[in-house]
Amino acid sequence: MNNLQDALFLKELQNIDKIKTILYTKQNNALTVDQLIQQAVEAEPSNFYVWYAWGIIKKLQDNLVAAENSFRKALELQPLNKFALQELGRVLTFRKKFAEAEKIFLDILESQIGNITSLLSTDLLLHIADNYIDWANDEFKNNEYESWKDRTEKAFDFILLALDLNNSERKISNY
């Protein structure tokens, strides 16, 4: 890559939809995307967007350990970035690190009180609900019925909050 290509690629990393497009286009297979991200990391190791993009790509590739590490690195660079925190919380849920994900999600939610944006908050509320649902399912499998009931009730509460916040959101109907 030359400097112009590097600059353009780094600019593209700032748009999550473009990251997904890069990953799924026929011109760029996963190996190519990984190589491009690796080059971007080497060129700009202190660039938040490079690490965030790498986390998104690794999450989309179901490499959850690498995704978690990438989001943690991005958060070293921008500790309060709500999007990176939310993505880290999702990865932690997928990795069954429910308590850590819960803390991250509730911290984000608390920081938004009085400053809520519909899209992020609806998604956040549903991610919290998903975390509780997955956690409850694990507890049910382990015959921990009291905890299962508590987590299920919490999930339901967050789904209702999401519905109150945005009753036209199609994602809510999946619950």
Residues 106-129 pLDDT 10s: 999 888 776 655 456 888 999 999
pLDDT score at 77? 96
- Whole-model pTM above 0.85? no
For residue 15, pLDDT beyond 80: no
pLDDT band for position 31 (50/70/90)? Answer: low
Per-residue pLDDT tens digits for 59-102 = 988 999 999 999 999 999 999 998 899 999 999 999 999 999 99
Least confident range of 25-34, 126-135, 148-157: 25-34
Please give the full DSSP string across the chain, using - where no structure is assigned.
--HHHHHHHHHHTT-HHHHHHHHHSTTS-HHHHHHHHHHHHHH-TT-HHHHHHHHHHHHHTT-HHHHHHHHHHHHHHSTT-HHHHHHHHHHHHHTT-HHHHHHHHHHHHHHHTT---HHHHHHHHHHHHHHHHHHHHHHHHTT-HHHHHHHHHHHHHHHHHHHHH-TT-GGGGG-
pLDDT score at 119? 55
pLDDT score at 21? 61
